[in-house]
Structure 1
Amino acid sequence: MLNHNRPRPEPGEASAPGSLWLTNAHVVDVRTGDLRRDRNVEITGGRVARITAEAPAPGERTVDLGGRYLVPGLISVHTHLSVLYPFSDADDDEDSATTVLRAAARARDALNAGVTTVRTLGEQNRADLMLRAAAAEGWAPAPRIVGAGLAVSTTGGHGKGGLSVFADGHDAFLRAARAELDAGADHIKIFITGGIAHLGETFNSSQTSPEEMRAAVRAAREHGTYVVAHAGGSGAIREALACGVRGFEHGYDLDGETIAQMARHRAFLTPTLTVTRCPDWMRAHDFTEWQIELAMEVGPRHLDSIRRAVAQGLNTTGDPEAPGITIVTGTDYPPGEPMDGTVTQVREMQFLTDAGLSPLQSLQAATVNAARLVMLDHEIGLVEEGYVADLIAVGSDPTSDIAALHDIPLVVQGGRVVRDDLPAAPTGGQQ
């Protein structure tokens, strides 16, 4: 279970209206791709109460979807809402108010883009935990935040720019991880290799010892949660699997043996293909040319790595207890950022189809699979009776083409409509 040192109301749920009907919807079951056509969805108390062919009673509050497809709100499991671009070590000393305001603006954009839940993986000044509290009070619109607070890294390791606390050795790592959990973190993020954002490091270089990894895992398990690792290369991932690390970010260079071990351990993989495939976005955000060149140089290797993971290790059974890798969707960048005619979250989902996922599997990576990773699969990730009403509507079937998500005219979070760009209801309709 998640760390519950403080109250965690669902965004919008406590004050959700008594009843809302979404009518004339094709409801997508993201587990199978099956459609329940021409259905009406009743939302009560922030949750889906009924999915039915029956019409709502006269006078009920309704939103007519006009035959659009209703799918779960999207989940991004790798984001940094507060990070400054381009990356800089000078970001460490920024005041917390500035950091939280920047994170809040990006969170609002993500929510409007249909991302109703985010997992953060290292935020300056623990901005994610502060923003989560503000959203719970109704002060700031934001996706549901499953937060890490500060990540934990080693001295001189990846994760600079205010994202991390630095510790060395078993005991220091244990203290650092426990401190984040005590501050309200839901999971622990560690950096175990270098990356592609800083000079003087490579993504295949191990930066964290097995003793340090085991310390982080121990702290997480004490609180009923897990450790996720920034990991570029295979050697460090194999060490981390043996230490009990549950999830891995990036996977720039996965070999066959590592993929097999990840499958045996039922590991989660967040490819973040966006970070090595978006030169125009990087230039628009003032990344240096060497940063762009390095990312693009790694790009083909990165894509081949994820293609191998999909071909050789993917869990395709639908059974979470079966061996296999579960792929989930995360962008690294804020998920509501404009990119290539859509937003980063949807662009990443399209990149996953380039790596071999079907559109349905890509949709699963951003809904039901991601919900399981963040341990909220009993609450979110499906359009089902009893689940929190985090929902989006699109004009065509996203299980056939992820491009359907380029236009999301309706976003519902916790039973509250947070975006409605649908055409006006016909005369006599209730809106």
Structure 2
Amino acid sequence: MDDTITVLRGGTVCDVETAEARRADIALEDGSIREIGRQLRAPEGATEIDASGTFVIPGLIDAHVHVTAGTADLAAQAEYSPYYVAAQTQGILHGMLSRGFTSVRDVGGADHGIAAAVGEGLWAGPRVFFGGKALSPSSGHADLRSAGRQVLDNHVCCPNIGTVADGVDAVRRACREQLRTGADHLKLMLSGGVASPTDRVDSLQFSADEIEAAVEEAANANRYVTGHAYTARAVNRGLELGLRSIEHGNLIDASSVELFLEHDAFLVPTLVTYEYLHSEGAEAGLPPASQAKVGDVLEAGLHALDLASRGGVKIALGTDLLGAMHRHQSQEFRIRAQVQSAPDILRSATLVGAELVEQTGTLGILAEGAAADLVLLRADPLEDAHVLATPEQHVRMVVQRGRVVHEG
């Protein structure tokens, strides 16, 4: 990154915290926001960009992605060449960046190499906060063997979203292996799921001792644990045992909301994936056994979001899309608009996401000293969340680390 100054002139700067907007210039230098104000002086040699007529927001954060999932048939992908998966991943990351997502949290699949490829500029894509391979017990959500398959391949180079560990000692070792590679968090499968072939959505996974071991290992490394869970029973158990965030949570109840507040924990709903798994899952490679489970969580997700939102839970934005369905990422904004206000939805994808990935004050905000990750929109997302749902129409420019990385 050079130290050339770029000045965005005359845009409407959206304060996502207060939901207020004002006309201002933004000066960017060395990957950070140098100054925000009216009629800023540009030093000699500065690059100036006319931002008039646009609404400027912080770069968006998707807190639940699988950037290596080039197919919805995750069991089949485990047999793919890692090079082929990497080629798919490059395209997936580029698409996310073009939609205004300048940061993502990968909760199963991405590793230190992918994060480095983006960080070093080898690939165009959002910053990747990765957890490595998600941890699952045998027969759990990341155990993608069919009922008749006995062989289990936990090799680090196997392009699988997860790894299987049974027993406290094995869980500790698996946690330490992910942390050894620089993982930003650990992911546990606490209940069954849609994409796995042999578990029920309403099952509980891992023993309490195994979960507590993972929480301890994460805390020792100054990291945190997030958990895949659908039912209130699984969600509540995870929160009581020390997890910092819950993924999905479609079947939570009022008792879950109380526990989220008590433990200052995050919820990351992923509603868009169920809509498109229902309509396009088969075409994208979702096996028939998984297609049959989509209905178990499809209708309940919006109610859970409404319950959590009204209860004051910290809600981040996630999508969890697989294969060809990644292109629908921005539709999460449209779905959430049925129960949440436009400012609340934007906060989920900026301020709350930044807090979840432990980047408060750096990401998800337009302020002096924050990262120069910005999106210029042709309409006001604080008034209408559907603006964010149609990036092909409304995203004029994406800036990441102070550089223009996409123009639409």
- TM-score, reference length from structure 1: 0.85
Measure, in 2, the Cα distance between the counterparts of 1:357 and 1:128.
33
Bigger shift: residues 281-290 or 267-276: 281-290
Q: Secondary structure at the match of 1:67?
A: coil
Measure, in 2, the Cα distance between the counterparts of 1:235 and 1:119.
25
In structure 2, the residue matched to 1:119 is 105
In structure 2, the residue matched to 1:294 is 293
Letter in 2 for 1:43: L
In structure 2, the residue matched to 1:78 is 64
Measure, in 2, the Cα distance between the counterparts of 1:338 and 1:119.
15
| Residue deviations 1:86-144 (CA, integer Å, cap 9, x gap) | 32423223332222222121111111111100100110xxx432111122332111211
In structure 2, the residue matched to 1:387 is 370
1:40 partnered with 2:40: no
Q: Secondary structure at the match of 2:299?
A: helix
Q: Secondary structure at the match of 2:248?
A: strand
Measure, in 2, the Cα distance between the counterparts of 1:335 and 1:390.
26
Measure, in 2, the Cα distance between the counterparts of 1:154 and 1:136.
32
Counterparts of 1:139-288 in structure 2 under 5 Å? Answer: 139-161=122-144, 162-278=160-276, 279-288=278-287
In structure 1, the residue matched to 2:405 is 418
Counterparts of 1:39-118 in structure 2 under 5 Å? Answer: 39-57=24-42, 60-118=46-104
1:328 partnered with 2:313: no
Letter in 2 for 1:259: V
| Residue deviations 1:326-351 (CA, integer Å, cap 9, x gap) | 00001011699565xxx41x211222
Q: Secondary structure at the match of 1:366?
A: helix
1:377 partnered with 2:376: no
* Distance verdict in 2 for CA 1:16–1:296, change over 3 Å: farther
Counterpart of 1:368 (choices 348, 351, 366) is: 351
Q: Which runs of 5+ in 1 are unaligned?
A: 1-14, 315-324, 422-431
In structure 1, the residue matched to 2:8 is 22
* Distance verdict in 2 for CA 1:334–1:94, change over 3 Å: closer
| Residue deviations 1:148-173 (CA, integer Å, cap 9, x gap) | 11111101110245211111111111
Bigger shift: residues 374-383 or 200-209: 200-209
In structure 1, the residue matched to 2:151 is none
Q: CA deviation at 1:243?
A: 1.4
Q: CA deviation at 1:201?
A: 2.2
* Distance verdict in 2 for CA 1:47–1:112, change over 3 Å: same
Letter in 2 for 1:381: G
Measure, in 1, the Cα distance between the counterparts of 2:94 and 2:380.
26
In structure 2, the residue matched to 1:409 is 396
In structure 2, the residue matched to 1:352 is 336
The answer to whether the 8 A contact 2:309-2:340 is kept is yes
Q: Which runs of 5+ in 2 are unaligned?
A: 145-159
* Distance verdict in 2 for CA 1:330–1:46, change over 3 Å: same
Identity over the aligned pairs, expressed in percent?
30
Q: CA deviation at 1:187?
A: 0.5
In the alignment of these two chains, the number of paired residues is 387
Letter in 2 for 1:357: Q
In structure 1, the residue matched to 2:149 is none
The answer to whether the 8 A contact 1:81-1:128 is kept is no
Q: CA deviation at 1:353?
A: 2.1
The answer to whether the 8 A contact 2:8-2:50 is kept is yes
Q: Secondary structure at the match of 1:104?
A: helix
Q: CA deviation at 1:305?
A: 2.2
CA RMSD, 1 decimal:
1.9
Bigger shift: residues 193-202 or 287-296: 287-296
Q: CA deviation at 1:404?
A: 1.6
* Distance verdict in 2 for CA 1:386–1:348, change over 3 Å: same
- TM-score, reference length from structure 2: 0.90
| Residue deviations 1:51-106 (CA, integer Å, cap 9, x gap) | 11124447531111122100000001100011242324232233322222221211
Q: CA deviation at 1:289?
A: 5.3
Measure, in 2, the Cα distance between the counterparts of 1:89 and 1:257.
35
* Distance verdict in 2 for CA 1:190–1:141, change over 3 Å: same
Measure, in 2, the Cα distance between the counterparts of 1:335 and 1:326.
28
Letter in 1 for 2:78: D
* Distance verdict in 2 for CA 1:43–1:387, change over 3 Å: same
* Distance verdict in 2 for CA 1:74–1:82, change over 3 Å: same
Letter in 1 for 2:135: V
